[in-house]
Structure 1
Amino acid sequence: MTTVNPYSSVNAASSFTNQSREIKNAMDKDDFLKLYIEQLKNQDPMEPMDSNQMAAQFSQFSTVEQLINMNTTMEQMVSLQLGNAVGYIGFEVTYSANTIDDEGNVITEEKTGIVKSISHKNGSVILKMLDGSEAEMDRIISVQVPGTSDS
């Protein structure tokens, strides 16, 4: 006879709930605007807020909003790059790689490798090759099916 654990669904549900909770560590533009509105509502009528201060705060709000939007756009671009890089897995890529010779000079050379995996590091998409070498996505020169040649 099969036994069913009556607590398994409860544990799964609580695990899901805990994973879906996100801690908010920074103010977003909505929080900033709410705080600003409360400040306007609760200002001292005998000493209203200085118009220069208001202009400065509106300018700060605009700057914060633009930075948030720019950050969102950058995250979307990295996501798109990662999505594109997935298509390189299993393919042979030729890429430019910089090395330093004995005299300290930077030498750029072309290398070839078969893409094993991709990752994201310091704002760049990194392709990892079967031989352990790595190449940034923007250094890829060509992509082809392994074992074929361009000629």
Structure 2
Amino acid sequence: MSGRTANDRRSWPPRRSLDFFGRRAHLVGRWAVPLAIGLVYGYWVAANRRDGGPITGGNVAYGFVTTIVFTLVVGAMLTVAPRLAREPHAALWGLVSGAALGFLMGQSPGASPLQVFVVALAFALAVGLIVFYWEYTHEDARGRRAD
């Protein structure tokens, strides 16, 4: 027995409230979310590259290297993009999205380089336009973000 009683408040540590959306949670989420998406992306790239063949050590290593690079690129984009004006912000999102899709498609054995380029460019333009529209409609009259 500890010798503490329910009425003896000085011996109990102070209670902290749970803060799910605090600074620490955002710091963890800033890298946990890109890492989770990167793991899925790395697995997908490795699966496309092996084209239904056996899983090899090189294939697994390729998937993990892709995961690390993708996580770093997306993490950097999520850090830098909010500091940019709406046009470069949209262009950065379009560039990263198009490059990611192009790289993913390029790992498939049957995809031609022209097909990969056209689809990735179309996707990059679509994402860039969507992000530009989002940024444009979420700012005040002076062009500042209306967070």
TM above 0.5, yes or no, is: no
More strand by share: 1
How high is the TM-score relative to the length of structure 2? 0.30
The structure with more radius of gyration: 1
How high is the TM-score relative to the length of structure 1? 0.29
Higher relative contact order (CA 8 A, sep 6+): 2
More helix by share: 2
